[in-house]
Each structure stands twice: as structure tokens, then as C-alpha cells.
Structure 1
């Protein structure tokens, strides 16, 4: 599954992690981690125990490790293959993918996620997960302010 890389704005990443109440005891899994921005914020600002990302693009995987200092782990591979292995290890899942990607991943999340798994998605919904909250975030980008919607779920 290949989704074009669009970096998550810092403000949105922070709001996603706030929405799922990320903290020191949490294991965060980022599906489609890109350059690891959400993972870096999770480790540095929210002090999560473990931050792991899955990214299919090898160039983005290398970029993620450039300034990483081994704060988080990036696994380079396909989400649909790795999700069933990694989802059971996490208690927080974050993503910024696409509607179709979320539809494909949702059964894997439901099947493999632990009870109480907290999920945050930027701009794209998971159609059948239990929606807890939505938050609007305005982020400043290259082209000016852009509005994002953070969807927060719990299994």
C-alpha cells in the first residue's frame, strides 16, 4: 500500500498525541511514519516509553534515522504485512494515510488491537472504530494556514 508522503504538521502531531493521552507508559505505533516526525514528538515531548513506525519508502526510512539519535525505531516495510505483528504490541496507534488505506487497515486493527487501544488519525476516518472525539487543528504551512481534523478512537 503506497500513500504519497505528506508530512504531518507539528501542531497536528501534538494534538493527535494529546487526544490519545500519550504518556510515559505508552507504546506508540505510527502506521506510515514518513520521516518519523510524530514519533520524535511522542518521545521528546510526551516521553512515551517506546515509539515505532512503519514506512514503506526506503528513502523516507533513511531520512527518519538521520537526526533520530535512536529515540524511535522505523521498520521499513509494508503496513498490511507488518500491522498484524506490530499492532498487538502497541497501546496507541497513529496514522496520516488515506481513506482507502484506513479501510484496508481497520480490520487488522480490530482483529489485532488490544482492548483499550487508542487510535488517532489525521484527516481520514476509520469507518467502524468507536469514535471518541474529533478535534479541529489549524496548522501553519508553506501555503498558509490549513485546517486538519484529528479523529480519536478507542477499541
Structure 2
């Protein structure tokens, strides 16, 4: 599934990670990680034990890789059923359609207590535990972003 890469501003990423109550013993998975900015901030500023990104675009996949994070180049739908059971935090900035496709996989394979933080897009069956508005400078100037947090 292809979702266009739109980078999340750093302020939004930090708020996503705070909303998901990220801590140093967490294993974080970012589906559609783009250039890896979420997993890099999670590792460098929130000191998660492990940060994993999945990205289908080979150019972005190469850009996201570094020594502190793991990046898997491949299809997030195919890989999510394998990876989701292994993580404590899931981050997403995808699309309404992508979240619809992933929701059943998350519900089937996510462990109790899995914390999810989604930038701008919700799920149909899951109900957010918290919703946060963040104003941040992005590609189009100052814009308002929504963060939706969930817990299984």
C-alpha cells in the first residue's frame, strides 16, 4: 500500500510520543516511517529500547537507516502481523484508508496494553483515549495537527 510521504514536524512527533507515554523500555514500531524522523526522535530523545520503522519506498528507506534504529524495507500490511505482536508502541501517519486496512491487524495481533499514536487519522473501531491539537510549522506554514492516542 502506497501512502504519500508527508513529514511530521518535530513538535508533532514529540507530542505523539508523549501521548503514547513512551518510556525507555518500550519497543516502538512506526509503520510507513518515511525518512525515519519518528523512530530517530523516539530513540535519541525518548531513549526507547528499540525503534523499528517499516517503509516501502527504497529511497526513503535508505534515508531512514542509521546506527540507532532498525528500518525494514517492505510492505507494512504484509509485515505488520509479524511486527505488531513484538512492540509496546505503534506510531502512524498514514491515511484513513491505510488505518482501515491496518485496524483489524492491530486488533488481532496487538498485545493488551499496546499504545498507539496516530497523526491526523483515526480508526473506526478503536476509540481514542486522548486527542491533542498541535500547531506546528510544516511544509505549508503553520498548520493545526491532530494526534489520536489509543490503548488496547
Deviations 1:108-137 (A, max 9, x none): 000000001000000000111131000000
- Distance in 1 of aligned mates of 2:41 and 2:48: 9
Match of 2:72 in 1: 75
Q: Which runs of 5+ in 1 are unaligned?
A: none
- Distance in 1 of aligned mates of 2:55 and 2:3: 10
Where 1:116 maps in the other structure, the secondary structure is coil
Match of 1:146 in 2: 143
- Distance in 2 of aligned mates of 1:41 and 1:48: 9
Structure 1 residue ranges, 4+ long, deviating more than 4 angstroms after superposition: none
Match of 1:37 in 2: 37
The CA deviation at 1:94 is 0.2
Q: TM-score, normalised by structure 2?
A: 0.98
- Distance in 1 of aligned mates of 2:80 and 2:69: 17
Aligned residues: 152
Q: TM-score, normalised by structure 1?
A: 0.96
Match of 2:97 among 88, 96, 100: 100
The CA deviation at 1:141 is 2.1
Match of 2:46 in 1: 46
Match of 1:135 among 132, 137, 140: 132
Structure 1 residue 22 corresponds to structure 2 residue 28: no
